Amino acid sequence: MPSFLSAWLKYARKSNQTSKEQKETNMATEMNMSKGMGMSKEMGMPKEKTGMSKEMSTNGRGGHLYMQSNEVKNCIIHYHRSANGALAEVERVFTGGAGSGRISPIYHIARPNHYEGAGSVRLTQDRRFLFATNGGDNSVSSFAVDTEGWLTLLDVKRTGNPQNGGAKSVAYAPSSGTLYVVHTFGPDHIRLLSVDDEGNLTPRPEKYSVSTMEWPNRVPTMAVLSPDGKFLILGTTFDELPSRKNPDGSLILWIPRGNNGELHSIASNAPDPDGIIVFPVGADGALGEPSFYDGGGASPFYIAFLNNRPDTFVIGEAVSDGLAIGRIDADGKVTVGPVVPIDTSGGVPSELCWLAVSPDDRLVFATNFGYSYLSSFRIDGNVLSIAKDPACPKVPGDGTFRAIDGVVSSGPSDNWLTPDGEYLYQIYGNASKLVGYATKPDGSLEEVTSVAIPYNSPEGLAGF
């Protein structure tokens, strides 16, 4: 471990035991330390860090939001969230690992959504720990979260995946203290780390793949544990990474395949019905043999379980441009209903990926990477329908990025909905914005706040 990181960890652990008043003094010291570590002015603490108003206190309806910068010197950006939805940045804490920086490890160009995934920043249910992937060096960082939301770096460890870059999603099983880390590049797409009671990480030898005999280089997107903790479920986006481009730089999802050179889609689950992978989870956190299921549409990207129906989830179908409802039974068998598409007159695919489910399970907000806005769906029993499409105005980027549909996009990625369902926060990487919306009963979104974020690179949102 680098000497500066060892010193930082010792200092962080010590400062985490101090009183609130002393912690504020220590954070001023951390700012000075950061300068000595090559931290830019932008990486420093806001000048008015200590000025948290009563409105922003977690005693009301406010709270905290965390996002990783995914810069080469990666950090977690911590925001206080006020009762009216407004965000104020209060600290940036180094992860001790390397982010992707300006260049995507997948596409080798500057673009938003480096990870083609979701869930790179996760809070434990008891809010004691926060975990974040470092996509530049395949490591994971753990942080202590105190009662007021402040972070202290506890540990950082490599996952063991030898492919440079690509760690992008984490899921945590508290019953066994196991962290599951999903990588873009296989064959060991999933690596495991043990988490002790102090938040220290220990890499484990197990490794698992989502590839098949026909497609040895598949690309998973994220992992989520079933609510009962018995199964780890993964979404996928590609059966192999796109290697062909249109003249405008947008990606081509069709490749010649077979003796006759017939075109075949590389979007997962299209047409091969194997886009969702389910692993049984053992008592010690180890995974059993995977089963492959029909994801219902092309590129079943994002899986979100409903809050009040533990056997039911929704899937964002990135290349089928819509949402589907799925179920998992007691044996881990998955069935998925029909896809309900959005309006795709703007071009296909819309790359509908990231989802947020309302606390009452009546609304789902879906991020359209290719369209630069969100759409919303209504759930009535097992029936999906469009609520608002679009649900908010388009957020333009800087004009330099085109999605697969060829449309100039700001490349929105991860979103997060507050536990009360009142506010939704959305990353727009190519616009360098994190936008907060008030949610409306009809499924529409009204912008209430916007803060500047690093260009293109940010990933992951988690909060309380």
Least confident of 104-108, 285-289, 443-447: 104-108
Q: Residue 391: is its pLDDT beyond 60?
A: yes
How far apart, in whole angstroms, are the C-alpha atoms of residue 60 and residue 39? 34
pLDDT tens readout for residues 153-201: 999 999 999 987 799 999 999 999 999 999 999 999 999 999 999 999 9
Q: Residue 18: is its pLDDT beyond 50?
A: no
pTM of the model: 0.88
Q: Residue 210: is its pLDDT beyond 70?
A: yes
How much is the pLDDT for 245?
83
% of the chain exceeding 70 in pLDDT: 87
For residues 204-233, average pLDDT: 97
How far apart, in whole angstroms, are the C-alpha atoms of residue 34 and residue 166? 27
Among candidate residues 333, 348, 354, 336, the one with its CA nearest the CA of residue 269: 336
pLDDT tens readout for residues 405-421: 999 999 999 999 999 99
pLDDT tens readout for residues 327-367: 999 999 999 999 999 999 999 999 999 999 999 999 999 99
For residues 278-306, average pLDDT: 98
pLDDT tens readout for residues 219-261: 999 999 999 999 999 999 999 988 888 887 788 898 888 788 8
Q: Residue 369: is its pLDDT beyond 80?
A: yes
Q: How many CB atoms lie within 10 A of CB 365?
A: 26
How much is the pLDDT for 60?
56
Q: Give phi and psi for 358, each to the nearest 5.
A: -65, 155
pLDDT tens readout for residues 52-95: 443 444 445 699 999 999 999 999 999 999 999 999 999 999 99
How much is the pLDDT for 31?
36
For residues 212-221, average pLDDT: 95
CB 287 within 8 A of CB 208: yes
How far apart, in whole angstroms, are the C-alpha atoms of residue 140 and residue 162? 14
How much is the pLDDT for 40?
34
How much is the pLDDT for 69?
98
pLDDT tens readout for residues 397-409: 999 999 999 999 9
How much is the pLDDT for 154?
98
CB 56 within 8 A of CB 82: yes
How far apart, in whole angstroms, are the C-alpha atoms of residue 216 and residue 17? 48
Least confident of 57-61, 127-131, 137-141, 159-163: 57-61
DSSP conformational letter for 45: P
Find the Cα–Cα–Cα–Cα dihedral 138, 140, 141, 145, rounded to 10°: 150
Q: Residue 63: helix, strand or coil by DSSP?
A: strand
How far apart, in whole angstroms, are the C-alpha atoms of residue 124 and residue 173? 9
Q: 383 falls in which pLDDT band (50, 70, 90)?
A: very high
How much is the pLDDT for 15?
43
